[in-house]
Chain A
Amino acid sequence: MSSQSVGHFALIPLYVAAGTAILALLADLFTGRRAVIAGVTLLGTLATASGALLTAGADPTFCAGGGCSWTPSGAAATTAVLFAGLTAGVLAFSLPALRLGIAPAGEFCFLLACSMTGGVTVAYAGDLITLIVGLETLTLPLYVLAGLRRFAPGERATAAPAAASVTFFLISVVSTAIALLGVALNYAATGAVHLALLGPAPAPFAQIAGVGAALLVIGLAFKVAAVPLHAWAPATYDGAPVPVAAYLSTASKLGGVLALAAVVSRLDTRAGVIVLAILTMTIGNLVALRQSRMVRLLAWSSIAQAGYILAALALGEPGVVAALAYAAFFVILELIAFGVVVALRHPGADGGAIDDYRGAGRRSPWLGAALVLALAGLAGLPPGLAGLFAKLSVVDALVDANWTWLAGIVVLNAVIALAYYVRVAAALYTLPARVGLSVADPVLMDAAVHPRLPVARPVAVTLVAAVAVAVALGFAPQLLFDALS
Chain B
Amino acid sequence: MTLTTDSWSFLLVAMLAVPAAGAAVVALVPAAHDRQARIVATAFAAVTFLLTLAVPVVVPDEFGWFSIDGVPGLVPWLNLELPWVPALGLEFHLGVDAISYPLVVLTGLLTLLCCAYTVKTGARALAALLLVLEVGILGTFLALDLILFFIFFEVVLLPMYAVIAGWGGPDRRRAARKFVLYTLAGSVLLLIGVVTVVSQAGTGDLTFLTDASPLSRNVQCLVFALFAVAFAIKAPLWPLHTWLPDAHTEAPTAGSVILAGVLLKMGTYGLIRVGVGVAPDGASWAAPVLAILAVVAILAGSLICLRQRELKRLIAYSSVGHMGFVLLGIATLTVTGIQAALIGNVAHGLITGLLFFLVGTIKDRTGTGSLDQLSGLREHSPRLAGLLGFAAIASLGLPGLAGFWGEAFAVVAAVQRDDPFWVTCGVFAAVGGALTAAYFLRLLRRVTHGPATPAVRSSRSAISAGEWVAWAPLVLLTLAVGVAPALILSGTDLPIVSLLGGGRP
Shortest distance between the CB of B191 and any CB in chain A (Å): 6
| A418-B87 in contact (CB<8A) | no
A138 to B136, CA, bound (A): 43
User: CA–CA, A414 to B147, complex, Å?
Assistant: 18
Distance between B174 CB and nearest chain A CB, rounded to angstroms: 11
Stretch touching chain A among B154-162, B338-346, B481-489? B154-162
Partner of A478, one of B85, B157, B189, B198: B85
Q: What 1/0 mask marks residues of chain A from 390 to 414 whose CB sits below 8 Å from any chain B CB?
A: 0111011001100010011001101
Q: Which residues from chain A contact B158 at a C-beta distance below 8 Å?
A: 376, 381-383, 422
With beta carbons under 8 angstroms apart, the residue of B173, B180, B185, B199 that contacts A400 is B199
- Judged by a CB distance under 8 angstroms, whether B195 is at the interface is yes
A166 to B375: give the CA distance in the assembly, Å: 71
Interfacial chain B residues near A376, Cβ < 8 Å: 158
Chain B residues whose C-beta falls within 8 Å of the C-beta of A414 in the assembled complex:
184, 188
State whether A392 and B147 are in contact (beta carbons under 8 Å apart), knowing that A411-B192, A478-B86, A478-B87 are contacts in the complex.
Answer: yes
Contacts of B192 in A (CB 8 A): 395, 399, 404, 407-408, 411
Query: Contact: A411 with B191, CB < 8 Å?
Result: yes
Identity of the chain B residue whose Cβ is nearest the Cβ of A475 in the assembled complex? B84
Among A385, A389, A391, A393, max chain B CB count under 10 A is at: A389
Kindly report which residue of chain B lies nearest to residue A402, judged by CB atoms: B199
Question: B446 an interface residue at 8 Å Cβ cutoff?
Answer: no
B151 touches A396 (CB 8 A): no
Given the contacts A382-B151, A408-B192, A418 and B85 also touching, CB distance less than 8 Å: no
Residues of chain A within 8 A (CB-CB) of B173 are: 426
Contact A415 B88 (CB under 8 A): no
Residues of chain B in range 186-229 having any CB-CB distance to chain A below 8 Å = 188-189, 191-192, 195-196, 198-199
Q: Which of B150-185 contact A (CB under 8 A)?
A: 151, 154-155, 157-158, 161, 165-166, 173, 176-177, 180-181, 184-185
- Chain B 54-93 interface mask (CB, 8 Å, partner A; 1/0): 0000000000000000000000000000001111110000
CB distance from B199 to the nearest CB of A (A): 5
Q: Encode contact with B along A420-442: 1 for CB under 8 Å, 0 otherwise.
A: 00100010010000000000000
Let me know if A415 and B185 touch, CB within 8 A: yes
Contact B87 A415 (CB under 8 A): no
A325 vs B192: C-alpha distance in the bound complex, in angstroms? 19
**Cβ of B157 and Cβ of A381 under 8 Å apart?**
yes
A388: interface (CB < 8 Å): yes
Residues of B within 8 A of A411 (CB): 188-189, 191-192
Chain A residues lying within 8 Å of B188, measured Cβ to Cβ, are 411-412, 414-415
Residues on A with C-beta less than 8 A from B161 are 422
Chain A residues with CB under 8 Å of B191's CB are 391-392, 395, 411
Contact partners of A478 in chain B: CB under 8 A? 84-87
Q: Distance (Å) between the CB of A483 and the closest chain B CB?
A: 11
Q: How far, in angstroms, from A381 to B181 measured CA to CA in the complex?
A: 12
Contact between chains at B155 and A426 (CB < 8 Å) = no
With A388-B154, A414-B184, A418-B184 as known contacts, state yes or no: A407 contacts B177, CB within 8 Å: no
Number of interface residues of A (CB under 8 A): 32
**Are A399 and B151 in contact (CB-based, < 8 A)?**
no
A274 to chain B, nearest CB (A): 18
Tell me which of B84, B165, B180, B198 contacts A418 (CB under 8 A): B180
Q: How far is the CB of B324 from chain A (nearest CB, A)?
A: 26
CB closest residue in chain A, given B136: A382
Return B68 CB to nearest CB of chain A, in Å: 34
User: For residue B154, which residues in chain A have a CB less than 8 angstroms away from its CB?
Assistant: 381-382, 388
Q: Which of B84, B86, B158, B176 has the most CB of A within 10 A?
A: B158
Q: Which residues of B contact A395 (CB under 8 A)?
A: 191-192, 195
The one of B84, B155, B165, B166 that contacts A382, using a Cβ cutoff of 8 Å? B155
Residues of B within 8 A of A391 (CB): 191
Assuming the A-B contacts A382-B154, A429-B166, are A399 and B85 also in contact, with contact meaning beta carbons closer than 8 angstroms in the complex?
A: no
Give, as a whole number of angstroms, the nearest-CB distance from B465 to chain A.
Answer: 32
Contact A481 B85 (CB under 8 A): yes
CB-CB < 8 A to B84: which residues of A?
478
Contact A388 B85 (CB under 8 A): no
A477 at the interface (CB under 8 A from B): yes
Minimal beta-carbon separation of B212 from chain A (angstroms): 22
Assess whether A419 is interfacial by the CB under 8 Å rule.
yes
Could you tell me if A392 and B195 are in contact, using CB atoms closer than 8 angstroms?
Answer: yes
A388 neighbours in B (Cβ, 8 Å): 151, 154
CA of A114 to CA of B466, assembled, Å: 65
CB-contacts of B74-129 with A (<8 A): 84-89
Inter-chain contacts of B185 with A (CB < 8 A): 412, 415
CB distance from A75 to the nearest CB of B (A): 14
Contacts of B85 in A (CB 8 A): 389, 477-478, 481
CB contacts (< 8 Å) of A482 on chain B: these are 87
**Most chain B Cβ neighbours within 10 Å, of A385, A399, A407, A408:** A399
* B176 contacts across to A, CB distance below 8 A: 426
Flag A233-268 by CB within 8 Å of B: 1 or 0 each: 000000000000000000000000000000000000
Q: How far is the CA of A412 from the CA of B181 in the complex (A)?
A: 10
Among B86, B88, B166, B189, which residue has its beta carbon within 8 angstroms of that of A396? Answer: B88
Known: A404-B196, A407-B192. A389 touches B88 (CB 8 A): yes
Residue numbers in B under 8 Å from A321 (CB-CB): 87
Q: Do A399 and B199 touch across chains, with their CB atoms under 8 A apart? A: yes
Smallest distance from the beta carbon of B26 to chain A beta carbons, Å?
13
Set B87, B136, B155, B198: member contacting A393, Cβ < 8 A: B87
Instruction: Judge whether A415 and B157 touch: CB under 8 Å.
Output: no
Contacts of A426 in B (CB 8 A): 165, 173, 176
- How does the 8 Å CB contact mask read for A432-471 relative to B, with 1 for contact and 0 for none? 0000000000000000000000000000000000000000
Nearest B residue to A484 via CB reads B87
Q: Known interface pairs A376-B158, A393-B88, A481-B85. Does A422 touch B180 (Cβ–Cβ under 8 Å)?
A: yes
A400 CB to closest chain B CB (Å) equals 5
A412-B188, A477-B85 known; A396-B195 Cβ under 8 A: yes
Smallest beta-carbon distance B277→chain A, Å: 20
A407 to B222, CA, bound (A): 14
Q: Are B181 and A396 in contact (CB under 8 A)?
A: no
User: What is the chain A residue whose CB lies nearest that of B180?
Assistant: A422
Instruction: Note all chain B residues with C-beta closer than 8 A to A382.
Output: 136, 151, 154-155, 157-158
A481 with B151: CB separation less than 8 A: no
Q: What is the CA–CA distance of A393 and B85 in the complex, to the nearest angstrom?
A: 11
Contact A419:B195 (CB < 8 A) given known A393-B87, A411-B188, A429-B166:
no
In the assembled complex, the Cα of A383 lies from the Cα of B151 at a distance in Å of 10
Give the residues in chain A near B198, CB-CB below 8 Å.
396
Contact in complex: B184, A399 (CB < 8 Å) = no
Binary CB contact string for chain B from 138 to 157 against chain A (1 if under 8 A, 0 otherwise): 00000000010001001101
B152 to A, closest residue via Cβ: A382
- Note all chain A residues with C-beta closer than 8 A to B88: 389, 392-393, 396, 477, 481
Contact sample, A vs B, 27 pairs, CB 8 Å cutoff: A321-B87, A381-B154, A385-B151, A388-B151, A389-B88, A393-B88, A395-B191, A395-B192, A395-B195, A396-B89, A396-B195, A399-B192, A399-B196, A399-B199, A404-B192, A411-B191, A411-B192, A418-B181, A418-B184, A419-B177, A419-B181, A422-B161, A426-B165, A426-B176, A477-B88, A478-B84, A481-B88
Other 11 A-B pairs with CB < 8 A, given A392-B191, A396-B198:
A321-B87, A389-B85, A389-B88, A396-B89, A400-B199, A411-B189, A411-B192, A414-B184, A414-B188, A422-B180, A426-B165
The 3 A-B residue pairs with the shortest CB-CB distance in the complex, in nearest-first order = A411-B188, A481-B87, A399-B195
